[in-house]
Amino acid sequence: MTSPSSCIFCRIATGEIPAKLVLQTDAVVAFLDVAPLADGHVLVIPRQHYARLEQMPPEAVSEVTRLLPDLGRALVQVTGAEGYNILQNNGIVSGQSVDHVHFHLIPRRSGDGLGYRWLAKQYPPGRAEDLQERLRQTLSA
């Protein structure tokens, strides 16, 4: 199992550094974010080191994502949140600060001030069709 000694989440997964663990399986660890955006903000990671989602085999993604419904349900029950966001950043440009794939579960309450809506754009004529075609070709290759 890849476990870079410099990766903080690998070190949490091996127990080398402490974290507030809430769920562990053979392949996955979930723990409280040390700097929560809301009470109960949880991170879910594969034990194995992958920097970005697209580097993970689908089975490894599935080991992580299959736990999300239970985690979401538990967060709502325990924190009294009305909902939650799931966020997964890839690349520095997206806001990823820890280079080990992680899913955020962020409990939400009305009036919590966290916001979410980013400014949507409009496609210029032809651009959506061009993207659709190229994506379809790439995905079917």
Shortest Cβ distance from residue 65 to ligand AMP (Å)? Answer: 16
Q: Can residue 33 be called a binding residue for ligand AMP (CB under 6 A)?
A: yes
19 touches ligand AMP by CB under 6 A: yes
5 binds ligand AMP (CB under 6 A): no
**97 belongs to the binding site for ligand AMP (CB under 6 A):** yes
Closer to Zn ion at the Cβ: 84 or 103? 103
Residues 6 or more apart whose Cβ sits within 8 Å of residue 33: 41, 42, 43, 104
Strand partners, 104: 43, 87
- CA-nearest of 111, 94, 100, 110 to 31 is 100
Least distance (Å) between residue 97 CB and Zn ion: 13
- Total number of residues that touch ligand AMP (CB under 6 A): 11
Alpha-carbon span 17 to 136, nearest angstrom: 43
Active-site residue list: 102
Burial of 91: CB neighbours in 10 Å, binned 0-12, 13-18, 19+: exposed
95 contributes a contact to ligand AMP by CB under 6 A: yes
Cα separation of 63 and 58, whole Å? 9
The answer to whether 51 contacts ligand AMP (rule: CB under 6 A) is no
Q: Give the number of other CB atoms < 10 A from CB of residue 93.
A: 7
Residue 122 interacting with ligand AMP (CB under 6 A): no
Q: Which stretch binds ligand AMP (CB under 6 A): 47-55, 57-65, 88-96, 124-132?
A: 88-96
Binding site for ligand AMP (CB under 6 A): 8, 19, 33-35, 43, 89, 95-98
